Structure 1
Amino acid sequence: MKTAMGSHVRAYLAQRRALGFRLRSEGYLLLSFARYADRYASRGPLTHKLAIAWASLPKNADRHRWARRWEAVRRLAKYLIVADPKTEMPPRHLFGPAKEPYRPFIYSAQQIGQLLRAARRLPGQLRPWTYQTLIGLLACTGLRVSEALGLKIVEVDLPKGLLLIRDSKFHQTRWVPLHPTALAPLKAYSRRRQRYFPLAERFFPSEQGAALAYSTVHAVFSRLRRTLAHGGRPPRIHDLRHAHACHVLQRWQASRRGAAGRVLILSRYLGHQHIRHTYWYLHALPELMAGAGKRFESNSHEKP
């Protein structure tokens, strides 16, 4: 009896995750592929035709989305072909590169204020305060959304002004210091949450007192961002992290010391695995690249 594609995918994901890969988005895609394959391919091997049919869904999606789905199937095929030589290896870049150059949306202080006011108008007993405080924390610390949602109450040390981020991306743990101006709203929210959910484990709980789901936060934020005027791609909640990093670099560039000697500090603060991930911000924002170029030009004219 032929093995269902779902079994192959689950075995592949289990093996990769045992090696330390989280595969959150890729796992979601491959489980979707497995359901499609088991429904339409009669439990046969992975073929080019099957991979193309699934990767090019939905039909109205952009090419980059198709490319990401295609690359996920390619990695699965590398695993399957070892045990099943009938597996057809999908060629690379059939739909082009999976990633497009991304220019982050850099929120202004005024736009962050608009988001905070929109969050305050949400219905619910704790919900408005949760989203207002969550957005404020993301904007002033540059935390990843998953890091903020994963915070437990015992990991938020407000008297010392420190957050303990455990087992984040790349399984890193770090301390994140809070700016003094962030403490008052965090303390006010903590007291309010304690009244409604005294037994809650997470710092940011749902309206039922359980962990706040990542998907729920994105759905709510998609409504909140409608208050913002923007052109092109809609701003994402993750862009709050990018905005924080870019604003820090802009302030440093404007100072006498400059930013070059302090990028490593920001890299550690943001939890980047490699400093090149932090230098990406210089490329992502033309103003930062221009500032870096001027600094380089002035240094190159100095006498040895």
Structure 2
Amino acid sequence: MSTWPDTDGKSIARYLRQLRLRCSTSPIYYRQALHSFQEVVARRRSSPSEMSRDMLEAWLREHAAHWPESTLLHRARIVTRFLDFLVQEGLIASNPVADLRAEYHARSDKAILRALLASNPDQALESIRQFPPFGSVLGNLMRNHIARMRARGYRYQTQERWFWRFDRFLQAHPDLAREPVSVMLQHWAAARPSANHAAECERLARALSKAQHHLDPNSKPRRPDPRPAQQVARQWRRPYIYSPEEVRRLLDIARSYPSPRALLRPISLYTMLVLGYCAGLRLGELARLNLADVDLHAGTITIRETKFFKSRILPLAGSALSALREYLEARHKAKAPQSPDSGLFWHDQGNARYTSHAIAGCLVDILRRAGIKPPKGKNGPRIHDLRHSFVVNRILEWYRAGINPQDKLPFLATYLGHRDIHSTLVYITVTQELLQQANDRFRTFAAHCLHASEGVQG
């Protein structure tokens, strides 16, 4: 059976081979960090599978005097991922950082590593301790309700976050444990004075009412209060409709996006913008696309199991297909995985696909570079407004072609992945050009009626 630490460094070499590091100098720093950690473990180890927190602390203290904190934390995370690899290989029993993260319910490994660097690690770890999920007096009720709704086919991810936030609030206020649920909700609603929080509390109250009604059918379901949602709707930002010139500017910036280490990124971002603008895809849909979903021969792209559990096959315009064809060629030259289930938008760091969060961060940065969005904050146009722009432009094209848009709305709803046209109507933003096209169409339709009416009056 293999053991670690090993004298020949085979475990470290095997780990580095499967990383596919994109920079030629990265293996040097990885080996430096991992070999220095292995030396500390070899000096302190007493049993073959032992890996304790003390060893990690000793390594951190030993190098804290030589490396800046940012460098030390970066290399400590390299060590942490290597420990996960050793656990998977069966060479050590557990990763102490992962154990501490589970014990203190910490959000990240970096928080644990910062605590271990403190002068009093135990006190620092206690300061980052988070409440266990669903550990409040209503925890079982909420957990069981989430499981029940998911068993019925709902994703129930947003609702789970409502429950999780309310559960943490209850754990932080144990004095509310004996109060009725209505009183708990009143205190939770008063915790934050924003309109969005009030609307979330109303939705949470209805979900809790359904959970209680399932346990006790005699309990009366809560009557919905539309006022909090109406208050939020009044604060909604008007969708921003990108002009053709702005879209061209965004595409040009994406093409020249500075990315010396990830050479595939500029054309990846360019293709993402093309699909967002030409096909109205959501960020999550872009992130979930697989290589097999693109059919250049048929000119289609398949969107699988997206919002409302819908899958759809979308025909694409010639410009979008050309962008996809160019991207796939560049992706092949970059030696990306060619298996059908590999992510369409792939990056070589960790040999993984782009997440929706990573896509949003890159595309928002392009908006800022174009001067369309302010340098900081959430104000200004959003990436999702590309989807609004797609709808408005599609309706404009129908008007110009003499087609009645109302007849085509069911097809547009299907293309967008909506349940019905009511969801699609939200995306129809009345622009000056759209209003002009509608007026011209009405004038053509009603001109003879107006002339007939004028003749009768004369």
Q: Determine the structure 1 residue equivalent to 2:208.
A: 77
What is the rounded CA distance, in whole Å, between the counterparts of 1:186 and 1:161 in structure 2? 10
Cα drift, residue 96 of structure 1: 5.5
Return the match for 2:225 from 71, 86, 92.
92
2:418 corresponds in structure 1 to 272
Separation of aligned partners in 2, 1:268 and 1:96: 27
So what's the TM-score if we normalise by structure 2? 0.57
The whole-number CA distance in structure 1 between the counterparts of 2:435 and 2:152 is 37
Q: How far apart are the structure 1 equivalents of 2:360 and 2:190?
A: 25
Deviation at 1:296, TM superposition (A): 4.6
In 1, the alpha carbon distance for the partners of 2:164 and 2:361 equals 22
Instruction: After superposition, give the CA deviation of every residue in 1:51-88 in whole Å (9 maximum; x if it has no partner).
Output: 344445656xx42x223321332123213433489999
1:25-104 aligned at under 5 Å gives the runs 25-41=158-174, 43-44=177-178, 47-55=181-189, 62-63=194-195, 65-82=196-213, 83=215, 92=225, 95=228, 97=230, 98-100=232-234, 103-104=238-239
Counterpart for residue 217 of structure 1? 359
Task: Pick closer, same or farther for the CA change 1:45–1:92 going to 2, 3 Å.
Answer: farther
Out of 299, 305, 322, the position equivalent to 1:161 is: 299
More displaced, 238-247 or 223-232?
A: 223-232
Write the mapping of 1:145-184 to structure 2, written as runs, cut at 5 A: 145-184=283-322
Distance 1:24 1:158 in 2: 34
Aligned with 2:156 (options 9, 23, 26): 23
Deviates more, 1:39-48 or 1:202-211: 39-48
Partner of 1:198: 337
Find 1:229's aligned residue among 372, 384, 388: 372
Say whether the 8 Å CA contact 2:301–2:314 is kept in structure 1. Answer: yes
Q: How far apart are residue 199 of structure 1 and its match?
A: 5.0
Q: Which has the higher contact order (CA 8 A, sep 6+)?
A: 1
Superposition pairs for residues 111-150 of structure 1, below 5 Å? 111-119=246-254, 120-123=256-259, 124-125=261-262, 126-150=264-288
Residue 408 of structure 2: which of 245, 253, 262 is its match? 262
Amino acid in structure 1 at the alignment position of 2:364: S
1:156 deviates by: 0.8
| Cα distance in 2, alignment partners of residues 114 and 28 from structure 1 | 37
Aligned residue pairs: how many? Answer: 299
| TM superposition shift of 1:162 | 0.7
Aligned in 2, Cα 1:266/1:116: closer, same or farther, shift over 3 Å? same
Distance 2:430 2:297 in 1: 36
| Unaligned segments of structure 1, at least 5 residues | none
Change (3 A) 1:86 1:256: closer
More deviation, 94-103/193-202: 94-103
TM-score, normalised to structure 1, is: 0.82
Structure 2, unpaired ranges of 5+: 1-134, 450-458
Q: Is the 8 A contact 1:9 1:76 kept in 2?
A: no
Give, in whole Å, the separation in 2 of the partners of 1:56 and 1:114: 45
1:106–1:239 Cα contact (<8 Å) kept: yes
Instruction: Please give the alpha-carbon distance, in whole angstroms, between the structure 2 residues aligned to 1:258 and 1:21.
Output: 36
Assess if the C-alpha contact under 8 Å between 1:252 and 1:258 holds in 2. Answer: yes
Larger Rg: 2
Q: Which range moved further: 163-172 or 206-215?
A: 206-215
Which position in structure 1 is the counterpart of 2:430?
285
One-letter amino acid of the structure 2 residue matched with residue 31 of structure 1: W
Q: Can you list the C-alpha shifts for 1:124-152, whole angstroms capped at 9, x where unaligned?
A: 41333322211221111111222222111
Over aligned residue pairs, what C-alpha RMSD do you find?
Answer: 3.4
Q: Deviations over 1:156-213 (max 9, x none)?
A: 1122211111222222221101111122221222222233422561111244332322
| Pair 185,257 (structure 1): closer, same or farther in 2 beyond 3 Å | closer
Equivalent residue letter for 1:67: A
Distance of 1:250 and 1:230 partners within structure 2: 25
TM-aligned CA distance change 1:57 to 1:117, over 3 Å: farther
Aligned residues of 1:163 and 1:178 also touching (Cα < 8 A):
yes
Q: Any idea what SS the aligned residue of 2:233 has?
A: coil
Q: Percent identity?
A: 26
